[in-house]
């Protein structure tokens, strides 16, 4: 009974802290603009392919397969964690053993994946600590970014060690105590040979230590993730579901502008808001309250892996633009301004903004809109779409486009084309040309 009470208190604390964090994040989403979620069937296909199938991760055969195995292993081990919660609440042991043959398969795969994840995470830690991987670096990657990654990987490593320890000592203790050993543990059965001569009492203590170490680490990890780059452990699957279903190169129109164009094309059309009460929204994005909730969701689910930046032609040629920085700065800006908006409302101003204080105009205009970053992102984040919104603000709100673009805009306004020639002079180039033996005159 004491174990159940302690477990219940631990679980309630975990759920309470997680609820506090979740409530804060949900409130931040309330400050963003709406976005439409449609084409559910297509989104489910994308989620199965990209998130569960890890199709984009597997483009890099070796390291991609290792990451995919870690992901798939977590899905299997998650079921074992559910069993531990049931055991802790009701004072049971291996409560799902009634599943019989399926339980043997589940525990067997969980045991094998624990070893696979342990090896893979060890390799990941070695790469981060001892190898200088270029895509792990960048101006946006502060010292804490690297520490955070190492902490998360270290926690995963400890989780796998405690899981294997729990299984190993369970086999030995249950066997020597005359209890039925439920489940199949191919890896832990081998490890059990190292501790076979230990007394029953010591084996029981080590099993309890491993059990508590594992479940408490899960509780801590669950509440650490929302503050870590590894938040994608929770968000990568829904992130893939919410990702763009239209072609990457398709730029969405602005509904407010589209409405004005339609009215110009059909002046006799009834105006939707004759009283003039419709609120005029800001064009584009200046600060976090101008992004859509999908943009903010992307910033939270970003894995900070650097694959987007590593393929960005602007970044490769030495320009300041980093698609990863775009997402990291959006998350950081919301964390900075969000508490003030919670306290004072959405109109709160700290005299700073996402554009310029975090993302410079130079970065915004360096993008070629090639969509290489969006294509490479393992969870389908669409960075160019956010860049377009930043550009729209600069152009439509401040007329702050580069000189070359301002010239084009002026030509379109005056001449109906991006060139500096009037419409009457467009065919002057064809004067004195002969086509099929006859002179071509306008």
Would you state the pLDDT for residue 266? Answer: 77
**Nearest to residue 111, comparing CAs of 213, 194, 186, 215?**
186
Burial of 81 (0-12, 13-18, 19+ CB in 10 A): middle
356 pLDDT above the threshold of 50: yes
CA 267 to chain centre: 45
Average pLDDT over residues 95-120: 95
Spatial contact of 418 and 408, defined as CB atoms under 8 Å apart: yes
Average pLDDT over residues 167-195: 94
**Nearest to residue 134, comparing CAs of 298, 367, 322, 362?**
322
Q: How far apart are CA 27 and CA 288, in angstroms?
A: 13
Q: Render pLDDT for 5-18 as a digit per residue (tens, 0 to 9).
A: 999 999 999 999 99
Q: Render pLDDT for 321-340 as a digit per residue (tens, 0 to 9).
A: 999 999 999 999 999 999 99
**% of the chain beyond a pLDDT of 90:** 73
Average pLDDT over residues 292-299: 95
Average pLDDT over residues 383-408: 91
Q: Render pLDDT for 137-152 as a digit per residue (tens, 0 to 9).
A: 988 999 999 999 999 9
More confident residue, 408 or 121: 121
Q: Where are the domains of the chain?
A: 2-241, 281-401, 411-442
Would you state the pLDDT for residue 345? Answer: 93
Q: How far apart are CA 216 and CA 208, in angstroms?
A: 12
More confident residue, 347 or 423: 347
Would you state the pLDDT for residue 263? Answer: 80
**% of the chain beyond a pLDDT of 70:** 95
280 pLDDT above the threshold of 80: no
267 pLDDT above the threshold of 80: no
Token reading at 93: 């042991």
Spatial contact of 87 and 77, defined as CB atoms under 8 Å apart: no
Average pLDDT over residues 49-59: 94
Would you state the pLDDT for residue 424? Answer: 78
Average pLDDT over residues 153-166: 96
274 pLDDT above the threshold of 60: no
Q: Render pLDDT for 77-91 as a digit per residue (tens, 0 to 9).
A: 999 999 999 999 998
| Summary mean pLDDT of the chain | 90
Q: How far apart are CA 187 and CA 176, in angstroms?
A: 19
Angle between helices 323-344 and 383-396 (to 10 degrees): 70
For the CA atoms of the chain, what is the radius of gyration? 29
Domain 281-401, second-level architecture? Orthogonal Bundle (1.10)
Q: Residue 439 — pLDDT band, cuts 50, 70, 90?
A: low
275 pLDDT above the threshold of 50: no
Q: How far apart are CA 233 and CA 227, in angstroms?
A: 12
**DSSP bridge pairs for 292:** 33
């Amino acid at each position: 009974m004491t174990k159940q009470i302690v477990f219940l208190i631990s679980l309630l604390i975990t759920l309470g802290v997680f609820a506090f964090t979740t409530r804060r994040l949900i409130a931040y989403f309330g400050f963003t603009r709406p976005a439409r979620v449609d084409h559910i069937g297509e989104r489910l296909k994308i989620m199965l392919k990209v998130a569960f199938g890890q199709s984009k991760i597997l483009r890099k055969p070796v390291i991609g397969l290792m990451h995919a195995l870690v992901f798939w292993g977590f899905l299997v081990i998650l079921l074992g964690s559910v069993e531990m919660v049931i055991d802790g609440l009701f004072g049971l042991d291996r409560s799902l053993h009634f599943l019989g043959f399926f339980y043997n398969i589940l525990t067997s795969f969980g045991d094998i994946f624990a070893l696979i994840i342990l090896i893979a995470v060890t390799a990941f830690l070695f790469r981060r600590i001892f190898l200088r991987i270029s895509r792990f670096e960048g101006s946006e990657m502060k010292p804490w970014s690297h520490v955070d990654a190492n902490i998360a990987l270290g926690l995963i490593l400890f989780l796998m060690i405690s899981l294997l320890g729990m299984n190993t000592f369970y086999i030995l203790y249950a066997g020597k105590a005359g209890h039925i050993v439920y489940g199949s543990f191919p890896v832990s059965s081998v490890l059990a040979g190292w501790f076979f001569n230990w007394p029953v009492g010591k084996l029981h203590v080590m099993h309890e230590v491993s059990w508590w170490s594992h479940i408490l680490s899960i509780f801590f990890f669950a509440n650490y993730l929302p503050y870590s780059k590894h938040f994608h452990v929770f968000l990568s699957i829904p992130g893939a579901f919410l990702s763009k279903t239209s072609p990457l190169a398709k730029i969405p129109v602005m509904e407010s502008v589209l409405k004005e164009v339609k009215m110009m094309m059909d002046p006799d059309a009834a105006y939707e808001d004759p009283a003039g009460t419709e609120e005029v929204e800001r064009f584009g994005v200046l600060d976090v309250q101008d992004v859509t909730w999908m943009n903010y969701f992307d910033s939270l689910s970003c894995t900070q892996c650097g694959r987007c930046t590593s393929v960005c032609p602007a970044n490769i040629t030495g320009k300041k633009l980093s698609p990863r920085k775009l997402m990291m700065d959006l998350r950081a800006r919301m964390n900075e301004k969000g508490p003030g908006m919670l306290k004072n409302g959405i109109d709160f101003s700290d005299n700073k903004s996402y554009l310029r204080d975090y993302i410079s105009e130079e970065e915004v205009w360096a993008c070629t809109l090639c969509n290489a970053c969006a294509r490479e992102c393992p969870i389908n984040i669409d960075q160019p779409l956010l860049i377009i919104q930043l550009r729209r603000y600069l152009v439509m709100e401040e007329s702050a486009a580069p000189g070359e673009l301002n010239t084009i805009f002026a030509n379109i306004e005056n001449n109906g084309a991006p060139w500096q020639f009037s419409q009457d002079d467009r065919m002057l180039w064809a004067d004195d040309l002969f086509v099929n033996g006859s002179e071509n005159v306008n």
